[in-house]
A = this chain, B = another copy of it.
Amino acid sequence: MLKKPRGSLFIVSAPSGAGKTTLCKNIVSMVPDIRFSISYTTRQQREGEINGTDYTFVSTDVFKRMADRGEFIEWAEVHGELYGTSRKMIDSFRAEGYDLILDIDTQGATQLRGKNKSGTFIFILPPSIKELKKRLKERMTDSDEVIRKRLKRATAEIKTYIDYDYVIINDNLDRALMEFESIILAERARTHNINPVWIEDMFLKQEEQ
């Protein structure tokens, strides 16, 4: 087999309003053999969201018990709610050879880096802070106070872009998707993802015959 059997992780972070969810949903239908990791969360299920597809919604008690048992490879509190990534789910997708997209906030990404988890870290930016402000206001779901808080948090998050491997500017969805796709395809062509046994079989053994 040309590629190494174990799937790669793509860790995606972005400030709220950068369009991360839309990008992640689109990319899994564009690129073969990649799946989206479904996070656990204690936050309220929103209209249109499906339990087990968008998130796995759990109570704070259940979440904390899972965290205590070490069932999350990372978890963090964001805007007062808990979000976590299940170790078991990741392992089962990877064992089947799928690459995996993890939608993780900047705190969770820092935890993964600290654990020396191998993965590709991607930061998604809106075109500008002005545009981010506009997008948050247009949502009309949040009060001015919440928007102000989100923007403050966004700026703090944006400062961590430097710790990521790649930066995608989401000024145009198609262009951003093409960059995202390129990053995944390029990562698959990385030398360390090529199976040395395959090279040996296809080129170095046959030559001796």
Report if A179-B185 is in contact (Cβ < 8 Å); known contacts: A129-B206, A151-B207, A202-B129.
yes
A76 at the interface (CB under 8 A from B): no
**With a CB–CB cut-off of 8 A, which chain B residues contact A196?**
162
Q: Do the beta carbons of B183 and A189 come within 8 Å of each other?
A: yes
Contact of A158 among B2, B123, B167, B199 (CB under 8 A): B199
Could you tell me the distance in whole angstroms from the C-beta of A202 to the nearest C-beta in chain B?
5
A186 partner, pick from B123, B128, B183, B206, beta carbons under 8 A: B183
Assuming the A-B contacts A185-B178, A191-B123, are A203 and B167 also in contact, with contact meaning beta carbons closer than 8 angstroms in the complex?
A: no
- Asked if A161 CB lies within 8 Å of chain B CBs, one says yes
Is A54 at the interface (CB under 8 A from chain B)? no
Give me 23 A-to-B residue pairs in the complex whose CB atoms sit less than 8 angstroms apart, sorted by A's number. Answer: A123-B191, A125-B203, A127-B202, A128-B203, A129-B203, A129-B204, A129-B206, A130-B206, A155-B207, A159-B204, A161-B191, A161-B199, A162-B196, A164-B191, A166-B190, A166-B191, A167-B189, A167-B194, A178-B185, A179-B185, A182-B182, A182-B189, A185-B186
